[in-house]
A and B are shown apart, each in its own frame.
Chain A
């Protein structure tokens, strides 16, 4: 999608965001714990860009997105939308803000009310915000259906009459109804058939150019993220471990977790699959209720093992530090060692580019 200058004004600012969910309801304090879904995350989303949030399940990417949309309350930290602190708004003000930011969900089978016609689903935002007369709304609905590539007669039918791809178009039409500035798309294509995904991704890209949208795209599919984003934040266990311009991240990843992620993504190419090096991480992601001390990735880190388990990894949490001589930031004690490692070199043989 479009390249956005690094001086573009911020549309969303997230500072030290924490979202903890209480677990257990024991009377004793020690039995009560917290799932630290998001644990101290800061980033900005610039006007007109597409920011990707990637990571494995449980890394906090969806929770972060929901906090941006004020669908859940942060435990700590500040989120500002176009300079307005979200925690200070409510009522009418909040409704006005909501018009400017819209979600698109993963599963269009779940995100559309099965008891309503497509016309009513797409018109719902207009009704809620009392936009236009009945006739005007009807015209707007046909216009929107046309924009997302659905036939006009779709309006009178119910969601179950449509395939996954078409339903996702309906969901996008609903999100576009109020001409928002920001769209937060949580795995927008992962529940769709492979042959349909490109249609939806291209549609989103067209809409961005036509309506100057800002996107936050959440995905676990790294190939997709490279295709659609300008910058990427890689998350692991509630933290951002690397936040870089997309091409920089894919060409020269600086966090060992990013390297491992890139090396695990399957490539639909037999030649590439035969020559590449795959770093298979051991074990599972630890529980966010009890994250490891120090660097959260240290229990599974290939670099730490290679460096003979330095104490700092398990002792000190690495802060997200700006990359020297480049854009973006990384949270690792040993980014230089990542850069010079054979693991990264061999992973990148196939990843860095075929240009």
Chain B
């Protein structure tokens, strides 16, 4: 507001605080620390699953629907399979689904949105109307439709969710590109003779990711949720493969055996909320990188 002159000092203060990008990525609050720790633990356990858990598909018909015990830490399911193992192996699929959805939707959305925003005019108008059409469907509905059409496999689930999500990224990045392309260093690059492709991808885009980074990180959690939702509805991963959504679906038939539904539900909740908590770090790093 009235801080015209003080602002410069504040900037000076901010820049002394900023030493390295890494430092700003260090967790500062308890929740951020907790989030990072949970993510590290879960990812570590999932990767190390073969070392720390039995075969997730091995059936032990003598121990169907057994409660938590020394043999089966989290109990067993209706076919006597170890839930601890299924959670870990299922996490592999859930996390991979989440990351791939993000990569696919992100890549498509960013290129599409960047081109649209940079081109401007009629090209932009047409490209954005197409995005509007996509956005006018509820995204889960769209994913369901596509998934139903393609058949229930992990790959198809990724394609289905990515297809529903890319327009959001396209919109976001377009807005950023429109702002950044008017900045002076872009004009400077143009005056040097840089062509539009070089200009867009090497000069404009790297400076357009600011807000996107946060949204992207938070969205990993939602992508995992979306993947599980599809599986839960029977349109994602096919049955014998353990996946958190699939497990919840299976467990629904045995509402009296609480451990059955609790483990995948808790796993999902723990992991997604951890990502949300840790997301604050990225937000902060975005704000601390000098924009001018």
Contact = CB atoms under 8 A, between A and B. Distances in A.
Interface of A: 69, 71, 94-95, 98-99, 101-103, 105, 107, 109-115, 124-125, 128-129, 160, 171, 174, 178
A124 B292 contact: no
For the complex of A and B, list the 3 residue pairs with the smallest distance between their C-beta atoms, beginning with the closest: A98-B193, A110-B184, A95-B193
Interface in B261-279: none
Given A94-B193, A114-B207, A114-B292, A105 B188 contact: yes
A257 to B, nearest CB: 29
Contacts of B194: 124, 128
- Do most interface residues of chain B lie in helix, strand or loop, or is the interface mixed? helix
Nearest to A105: B184
The residue in B15, B191, B203 that gathers the most chain A C-beta atoms within 10 A of its C-beta is B191
A94 B192 CA distance: 10
B290 interface: yes
Nearest to B186: A113
Contacts, number: 62
Sorting the interface of chain B by its residue count into under 10, 10 to 19, 20 to 34 or 35 or more gives: 20 to 34
Nearest to A95: B193
Given A105-B184, A107-B184, 14 more contacts: A71-B190, A102-B192, A105-B187, A111-B187, A113-B185, A113-B203, A113-B207, A114-B292, A115-B207, A128-B198, A160-B290, A160-B292, A174-B188, A174-B192
B183 to A, nearest CB: 6
Given A128-B198, A160-B290, A111 B185 contact: yes
A342 to B, nearest CB: 40
B116 to A, nearest CB: 20
B256 to A, nearest CB: 57
A110 B185 contact: yes
A103 to B, nearest CB: 5
Contact of A115 (B190, B198, B206): B206
B291 interface: yes
A109 B8 CA distance: 12
13 contacts: A71-B190, A98-B193, A99-B193, A103-B187, A103-B188, A105-B187, A109-B292, A111-B184, A113-B203, A114-B289, A115-B207, A160-B15, A160-B290
Contacts of A129: 192-193
Contact of B193 (A111, A114, A128): A128
Contacts of B291: 114
The residue in B185, B190, B193 that gathers the most chain A C-beta atoms within 10 A of its C-beta is B185
A141 to B, nearest CB: 15
A110 B186 CA distance: 9
A319 B273 CA distance: 72
